[in-house]
Structure 1
Amino acid sequence: MATGGFSADTSDEVFDYVCSMCKEQNKTVNAAKYCVDCHDYYCSDCVNIHKSVPALKGHKIVDKEVGQEGKLPMVPTERCERHSYKPVDMYCQSHHIVECYTCMAVDHRTCQDVFYVPEFVKTRKNVVPEFLQRITNVETKLQDFLKSFNRECTDLQDNKLKEIDTAKRFTKSLEERIKEAEKDAIDMIEKRYTKLNEELQKNTDNVQKEVKNVGSTRADIDSIIQNESQAFVSMIFGGKSVSSAEKLCRNAEMIKLGRRVKFLLNPQCESLMAKKLCLGKVKCLSYSFVRNGEFNIKLSSDSSSCAIYGSCILADGSVIFSDRDNCTLKLIDGTALNVIHHYKLSSKSWEVCCMDNNEAAVCLPDEKKVLVVKVNHELSPERFIRVEFSCQGISFHDEKFYIADGTCLYICTTNGAILKTISRDSSGKSMFKSIFNVSVCRYNRRIFVNDIRLGVISLDIDGNIQHVVSNDIKYAHGLTEADNGKVLACGYSSKNVILLDENGAFEKVIIKDGLSGPMALCFNCSTGRLYVPNFQKDVVQIFELEDVD
């Protein structure tokens, strides 16, 4: 414990009583004496000054321990701003305010619940501890928000760099005339990023400010915590800063994070080279979609309604749909939005995935085959891959097939040889009940499967389950990779599309109205266009990324 007269402005020591005169000079010095008449505590130096004042010579000076032993009441040391010689020792419960006796007599003479602070706190032992707990709670929330904002700042910065890199890669095939367009694209990204970052920084600064304020309030109370009366007074004075922090916490809870800058390429860029170039447009990517029409995919040769069980996007923006009931693969022009070619299959097809070199692979479960087709403005069969199981879901990554047959996930070579089987966890329990879709994320090599009974399951590359999303999707049947490792999934029974984050956890519902039993979907990351076939309705709905600030 500090001794009387020692200045402790930068000390970490705890003082049970602080010299009142030193405190007026913004110094923290441990008190040694107490004046019964002044109701003040004094250090060794200040008590000598007190004794030298003629008008104060008759005052009774005692050791501060007298108050500690209960022989004198523990009274506030705070002085009234209007009457500097009087202690703030009166409390009006109606107005929740503390003042000196004179102020209280003038301003609150009609109030019925006015108390002398030392007497009031005797029956309110938990008031200050509860206030300190309140500070602890708000400090925890503020720190959590600060961490979230800092992470968001880092992610937003990484996102900006990634999208700029996207724009730069697109310009490599063009000559000097696109340099101006590249600059325009980067400026758009920078402006949108700056706007988002400024808003994020403003929120971060507000949180930091409140962290400092509540920390200061805590420090004031901690420094005189043994003096319950003064601690109560400091609590009242600090209530405003804590209330402000709590209000900020409530406001911060309403702040929506996750907005990202998205650079969307212009598919008609090459045809615009004779004019002022525009590489694309920048959108704030929060995965909000607006419906932008539909198109019909039924052919005159189709004998049944279209039952799309799989779809994929090719590098040139064209789309392949697997029409199970009509045993047909359909190639769609991503710009004209019509069927430009189709291939009649030997049996009913399920999921289809894109491969490298403009190839695609489609599952034929009844034949236990995977058909590989070449795509060059038309669909041309190349080879069959025989497997030992009824293949239904399929994805291609790193020169390997990931194929599902309902209860097992097989990792196979390009010839169909099984490299690994994923079906049971470490305890031997079956992991799946009925999986029909597979998607391997190129961004982080995470595996996603749709189990119509369990939901959307995400696994690491070794096949260990990381997340299962079931409450927000029913009869999950359809997966497509989005951007930055995120994945979109649709539910046949829930008639919705949901977004999963890069870890496989549920993020939000993307589309919940207007869908009719979707069984497949595909997303073009370059154009921001989402295709969702309506099951047995012969039409594909188109959704575009909405620019949300």
Structure 2
Amino acid sequence: MCQDILYIPDFIQNNARTENPKKIQQELEASAKILDEYLDDFQQARQELLKSKADSIEEIRKFRQEVNARLDEMEQNSIADTEDKFKLLMKEIEDRMSLLQKNQASVTSAKDKLASVKNNVSQEFVNAKKGIKVASDAKVCVEESKAGFRSKNIKIIPDQIILPKLKETNMLLKVAEKDSLLQVKNKKTCNVKTPSDTEVCNISSVCYLEDGSVILCDNINKKLKRLDSSSYTVKEYYDLPCYSWQMCPINKHEVAVSLYMKNEIHLISHSNEMRKTNEIKTDFVCYGLAHADGNLYISDKHTSVYVYSVSGRKLKCISMDLYTSDKHTSVYAYSVPGRKLKCISMKPSKKRELNIMNLAVSEDGSKIYVTCRNNGLIILDNNGQVIRNFNGPEIQSPWGIFQTSSGSLLVASRGYNNVLQFRPRGQFIGKVIKSEARKENCPAVACNQQMTKLIVSTFGDNNIEVYDIV
């Protein structure tokens, strides 16, 4: 009783074919590619989640060890304080006992001398006089001891903060999603102009130091400016020989800055007074600059990345296969002493040439993050394979890029004057700071290690913006 049952050969013979197997094959291949890409993302996310779980458990145990060590220290401090108070009280008692025993001995001696006198009136008279004096001194000693001494014991008073707080707390550490969107509040605008500045400040790069202070790269005034960690006012500056571009910390005591007008990288110590400790000369115009795994990564403004070992030996030049053109954009990696390690080349698309603005590199050097004015955010591995290219409508003229201590990326989109957040593999999370009225004003971004403060630099108004991260 089934209706509309057709024999396929008859149906094909009586009806024009509308399906194009070649086109369908292409669509299937495109679908397979998308599925592979997203499956790879989820597999990577799974591996990262497993690793983050192991890291989190290790962090909990490490924190517990730190708590135990602190409790041991507090215990020893409490015992030492008890010992100190005990010694003081015990000394007071022993000093008074010693004085009483001395008077007791004097009284006993006087008694014995007075009793031993027989048939010697003169000696009896002398011993009696001495006995009166000893008895009087003993009476005064007893009265002073009674009046000036109060029985004291040691009593332990439990801390009224620690134990109640522990009873309120169920976990040693809070568990949160690693790549959740950062939330900011309480924007503070801080003026960073110095009396010697001849131009309106253009802050092209920002970095936090381990002590919490901040160094700014003022492109137009040719200065590095160190700010106080609490007031964000300029407390010291260093004059550069020419215009600068990007800056990055090298170690606890040094930062590196790219000087594109001189084709040089300068290393600046900030331990005491800021001073140059070394310079690296290149044969290209250097713009983007990052430090990872002991190496410096330096880009020109077009298409290549070079990596150099710390001793100066060139390792390799990495080319990207995503773009096919004769023009290249380069990122060069130099060792801190100035030895070229390798070059990573990124071929631009036929339609638009890459225009590298800034670089960031993962801590282990496995991923290189590039902001390109015309091509958004590009992420590649250290073999030149493009992991992801994000160039969606949310991003326009990206400039500054910063990898947070949690691993996520912050990108300053200058065209929209906002700050975007991405996962380490380039998946877009959201907008940390949304657009405001002014445009073309968000060239650099950075967070402190504790992820409590976020700085966004500005162009053309002598200010930076400091946000609280919540």
Q: Is 2:290 aligned against 1:395? A: yes
TM-superposed CA distance for 1:476, in Å, is 0.7
Percent identity between matched residues is 23
Q: Is 2:177 aligned against 1:260? A: yes
Please say which structure displays the higher CA radius of gyration: 2
Q: Which residue of 331, 339, 343 maps to 2:238?
A: 343
TM-superposed CA distance for 1:460, in Å, is 1.1
Q: Is 2:462 aligned against 1:541? A: no
TM-superposed CA distance for 1:494, in Å, is 1.5
Q: Matched residue of 2:419: which SS?
A: strand
Structure 1 residues 300, 400: CA separation in 2 closer, same or farther (over 3 Å shift)? same
1:259-298 Cα distance to aligned partner (Å, 9 max, x none): 5279xxxxxxxxxxxxxxxxxxxxxx54222243121111
Structure 1 residues 178, 381: CA separation in 2 closer, same or farther (over 3 Å shift)? farther
Once structures 1 and 2 are overlaid, which stretch shifts more, 158-167 or 523-532? Answer: 158-167
Q: How many residues align?
A: 318
Distance 1:361 1:502 in 2: 24
Distance 1:360 1:502 in 2: 24
Distance 1:443 1:529 in 2: 24
Is the Cα contact below 8 Å between 1:490 and 1:519 reproduced in 2? yes
- Larger RCO (alpha carbons 8 Å, 6+ apart): 2
Distance 1:444 1:411 in 2: 10
Could you tell me which residue of structure 2 aligns to residue 207 of structure 1? none
Is the Cα contact below 8 Å between 1:340 and 1:378 reproduced in 2? no
Structure 1 residues 357, 507: CA separation in 2 closer, same or farther (over 3 Å shift)? same
TM-superposed CA distance for 1:479, in Å, is 0.8
Q: Matched residue of 1:164: which SS?
A: helix
Q: Which residue of 299, 307, 314 maps to 2:194?
A: 299
Distance 2:170 2:178 in 1: 10
Aligned partner of 2:177: which letter?
A: R
Could you tell me which residue of structure 2 aligns to residue 322 of structure 1? 217
Distance 2:68 2:224 in 1: 34
Once structures 1 and 2 are overlaid, which stretch shifts more, 476-485 or 511-520? Answer: 511-520
Could you tell me which residue of structure 1 aligns to residue 306 of structure 2? 410
Q: How does 1:28-67 map to 2 (within 5 A)?
A: none
Is the Cα contact below 8 Å between 2:368 and 2:379 reproduced in 1? yes
Distance 1:450 1:181 in 2: 48
Aligned partner of 1:534: which letter?
A: T
Is the Cα contact below 8 Å between 2:205 and 2:457 reproduced in 1? no
Distance 1:286 1:347 in 2: 38
Q: Is 2:423 aligned against 1:531? A: no
Q: Which residue of 439, 448, 454 maps to 2:375?
A: 454
Could you tell me which residue of structure 1 aligns to residue 119 of structure 2? none
Is the Cα contact below 8 Å between 1:450 and 1:456 reproduced in 2? yes
Could you tell me which residue of structure 2 aligns to residue 511 of structure 1? 433
Distance 1:335 1:462 in 2: 42
Could you tell me which residue of structure 2 aligns to residue 522 of structure 1? 446
TM-superposed CA distance for 1:336, in Å, is 2.9
Q: Matched residue of 1:384: which SS?
A: strand
Distance 1:474 1:511 in 2: 14
Q: How does 1:434-513 map to 2 (within 5 A)?
A: 434-442=355-363, 445-471=366-392, 472-513=394-435
Structure 1 residues 348, 156: CA separation in 2 closer, same or farther (over 3 Å shift)? closer
Aligned partner of 1:475: which letter?
A: S
Aligned partner of 1:469: which letter?
A: F
Q: Is 2:257 aligned against 1:362? A: yes
Is the Cα contact below 8 Å between 2:213 and 2:228 reproduced in 1? yes
RMSD across aligned positions (CA): 3.7
1:195-241 Cα distance to aligned partner (Å, 9 max, x none): xxxxxxxxxxxxxxxxxxxxxxxxxxxxxxxxxxxxxxxxxxxxxxx
Distance 2:433 2:62 in 1: 27
TM-superposed CA distance for 1:473, in Å, is 1.0
Structure 1 residues 304, 428: CA separation in 2 closer, same or farther (over 3 Å shift)? same
Distance 2:324 2:4 in 1: 59
Could you tell me which residue of structure 2 aligns to residue 27 of structure 1? none
Structure 1 residues 524, 539: CA separation in 2 closer, same or farther (over 3 Å shift)? same
Q: Where do 5+ consecutive residues of structure 1 fail to align?
A: 1-69, 71-121, 126-143, 194-258, 263-284
Structure 1 residues 370, 349: CA separation in 2 closer, same or farther (over 3 Å shift)? same
1:451-491 Cα distance to aligned partner (Å, 9 max, x none): 11101111112221111111121111001111332111111
Distance 1:341 1:396 in 2: 24
Is the Cα contact below 8 Å between 2:216 and 2:224 reproduced in 1? yes
Q: Is 2:321 aligned against 1:425? A: yes
Distance 1:467 1:188 in 2: 41
Aligned partner of 1:468: which letter?
A: N
1:429-463 Cα distance to aligned partner (Å, 9 max, x none): 51461112111111673110111110111111222
Q: Matched residue of 2:241: which SS?
A: coil
TM-superposed CA distance for 1:406, in Å, is 1.3
Structure 1 residues 468, 185: CA separation in 2 closer, same or farther (over 3 Å shift)? farther
Could you tell me which residue of structure 1 aligns to residue 205 of structure 2? 310
Structure 1 residues 427, 368: CA separation in 2 closer, same or farther (over 3 Å shift)? closer
Aligned partner of 1:446: which letter?
A: K
Aligned partner of 2:414: which letter?
A: Y
Is the Cα contact below 8 Å between 2:210 and 2:252 reproduced in 1? no
1:45-90 Cα distance to aligned partner (Å, 9 max, x none): xxxxxxxxxxxxxxxxxxxxxxxxx8xxxxxxxxxxxxxxxxxxxx
TM-superposed CA distance for 1:185, in Å, is 12
Distance 2:378 2:74 in 1: 43
Q: How does 1:167-178 map to 2 (within 5 A)?
A: 167=63, 176-177=72-73
Is the Cα contact below 8 Å between 1:341 and 1:377 reproduced in 2? no
Is the Cα contact below 8 Å between 2:416 and 2:435 reproduced in 1? no
Structure 1 residues 190, 391: CA separation in 2 closer, same or farther (over 3 Å shift)? same
Q: Matched residue of 1:373: which SS?
A: strand
What TM-score comes out, normalization by structure 1 length?
Answer: 0.51
Once structures 1 and 2 are overlaid, which stretch shifts more, 504-513 or 397-406? Answer: 504-513
Structure 1 residues 153, 327: CA separation in 2 closer, same or farther (over 3 Å shift)? closer
Q: Matched residue of 2:261: which SS?
A: helix
Aligned partner of 1:363: which letter?
A: S
TM-superposed CA distance for 1:391, in Å, is 0.6
What TM-score comes out, normalization by structure 2 length?
Answer: 0.59
